[in-house]
């Protein structure tokens, strides 16, 4: 291992340690049971995403500890930032504002689902009307077996020749 590589590794470790110290200090001001940790590769614990920061909450026994990975909405790695506080507020089941926000999201989701159902019903209704109109309308045959002609007698001279 080159000296450059070892300096890079030590820098990464100190950054990790500094990040954890900062966030643990901030999290303990919110709740003494909260802690930020880092899980390396190979960890096989339910709820843990390897190579990510996580928020742990040491719940009272017999409740299991809560583990929340810090990642973006698509599951990608992100550095901890102010979004950690927003996530904790959003997920706080005891918070009245979080409960109001959750109910608002549920209402919006139900309204969107109802609008989607109405739109689908309107689309089905429009398709039914279109099919009925198509069945009742006169149409031009595109079949070569019975070619289209302007008049009922058929092509000029076709009836006379027969």
Phi, psi of 68 (to 5 degrees): -125, 115
What tens digit of pLDDT does each residue of 96-116 get? 666 676 677 778 888 888 899
Give CA angle at 89 (86, 95), nearest 5°: 160
pTM of the model: 0.51
| Cα–Cα distances in angstroms (integers) from residue 96 to residues 42, 83, 84, 107, 148, in the given order | 38, 19, 19, 16, 73
Mean pLDDT, residues 121-138 taken together: 88
Banded pLDDT at 124 (limits 50, 70, 90):
very high
Cβ-based neighbours of 31, under 8 Å, separated by 6 or more: 57
How many helices (H) and strands (E) the chain has is answered by 4, 3
């Amino acid at each position: 291992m080159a000296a450059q590589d070892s300096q890079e590794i030590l820098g990464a470790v100190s950054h990790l340690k500094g990040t954890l110290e900062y966030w643990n200090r901030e999290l303990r001001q919110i709740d003494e049971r909260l802690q930020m940790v880092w899980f390396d590769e190979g960890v096989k614990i339910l709820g843990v995403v390897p190579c990510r920061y996580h928020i742990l909450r040491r719940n009272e026994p017999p409740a299991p500890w809560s583990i929340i990975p810090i990642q973006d909405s698509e599951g990608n790695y992100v550095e901890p930032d102010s979004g950690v506080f927003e996530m904790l507020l959003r997920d706080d089941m005891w918070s009245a504002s979080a409960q109001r926000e959750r109910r608002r999201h549920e209402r919006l989701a139900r309204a969107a689902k109802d609008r989607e159902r109405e739109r689908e019903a309107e689309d089905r209704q429009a398709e039914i009307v279109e099919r009925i109109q198509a069945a009742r309308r006169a149409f031009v045959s595109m079949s070569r077996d019975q070619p289209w002609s302007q008049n009922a007698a058929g092509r000029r001279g076709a009836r006379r020749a027969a």
